[in-house]
Amino acid sequence: MKKRSGGSKSSDSRRTLLSSAVSAATHPTRGLILRRLKEGPCSTLQLEDETGESRYNLYHHLAVLEDAQLITAELDEDRRTKRYRLFRPSKPELSLLILEEDDAKEAETLKGLLEYLDPENIPHADEICRAKMIFYYPWSQED
């Protein structure tokens, strides 16, 4: 087995990161939170209104998303309001794209992707309602 150079993560840690990100992102409430944060940063109060979740449940979901390194939080200028945003690292280890037919734009993207991949080679392509794609970067590969 090749020894890895310092500073890069092992494939085990990337699998763990991916597993926690997929688990976090595929929960319905957390998916709703991520979709809302795609539009821009939000306060806890705004997310509470958007999701309909109790504050207790919302904090749980936000903690899971933070632990999975999908979102970050920072205090506003007033130092009392926390605002959440999608985490966009400059050099991510990997990216996860989830497309669902519930969102009209994503449904069109999914349909186009399936057509590009040639539906005849994908069993029951017309029945697919969700796709998960993982993107790896050259700097995250093993030596």
Task: Find where tokens 């090749």 sit.
Answer: 2
Of 74, 93, 96, 98, the closest CA to residue 85 belongs to: 74
pLDDT of residue 4: 39
Predicted confidence (pLDDT) per residue in 69-121, tens digit: 899 999 887 778 889 999 988 888 778 788 888 888 888 999 999 889 888 88
Question: Would the pTM count as exceeding 0.75?
Answer: no
What are the domain boundaries of the chain? 10-88, 89-143
The class of domain 10-88 in CATH terms is mainly alpha
Task: Find where tokens 């017309």 sit.
Answer: 126
C-alpha torsion angle, residues 129, 61, 55, 49 (rounded to 10):
-30
∠64-88-76 over CA atoms, to 5°? 75
What backbone phi and psi angles, to 5 degrees, belong to 74? -150, 155
